[in-house]
């Protein structure tokens, strides 16, 4: 099973970076969790976000956020619409389901036919 967070939205913030105090490096990224297995693909409801500074290449964790960053973050989080959760069976899953159905039909046939 493969789980990954895919970037849905990126926003450049003009706030001061709490690490290097630069105003043009902060980037807020909204992510959403996708799950993929051999049999299905799914977009989950689970979302995540991260704040990074491209100037000093640091991840800015919420403990380091200033009030201004929090305010801007809340604003963008409200404006952020995640993708609709979805669940799709892959071809291999359908093949498996169909073969199981055929198998059941054949078994029923073997069980019923001699009694006819």
Q: Residue 80 CB, nearest distance to Zn ion (Å)?
A: 23
> Does residue 29 touch Zn ion according to CB under 5 A?
no
Task: Give 17 or 31: the residue with its C-beta nearer to Zn ion.
Answer: 17
Long-range contacts of 38-42 (CB under 8 A, 24+ apart): 38/90, 38/92, 39/89, 39/90, 39/92, 39/93, 39/96, 40/87, 40/88, 40/89, 40/90, 40/93, 41/87, 41/88, 41/90, 42/85, 42/86, 42/87, 42/88
Which positions from 52 through 91 interact with Zn ion, judged by CB under 5 A?
53, 55-56
> Does residue 19 touch Zn ion according to CB under 5 A?
yes
Q: Residue 9 CB, nearest distance to Zn ion (Å)?
A: 21
Give me the residues that bind Zn ion (CB under 5 A), please.
17, 19-20, 25, 53, 55-56
């Amino acid at each position: 099973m493969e789980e990954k967070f895919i970037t849905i939205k990126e926003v450049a913030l003009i706030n001061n970076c709490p690490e290097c105090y630069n105003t043009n490096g902060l980037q807020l990224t909204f992510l959403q969790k996708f799950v993929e297995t051999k049999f299905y693909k799914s977009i989950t409801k689970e979302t995540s976000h991260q704040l990074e500074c491209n100037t000093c290449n640091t991840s800015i964790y919420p403990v380091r956020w200033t009030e201004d960053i929090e305010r801007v973050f809340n604003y963008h989080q409200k404006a952020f619409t995640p993708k609709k959760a979805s669940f799709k069976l892959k071809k291999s899953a359908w093949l498996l389901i169909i073969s199981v159905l055929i198998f059941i039909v054949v078994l029923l046939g073997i069980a019923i036919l001699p009694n006819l």
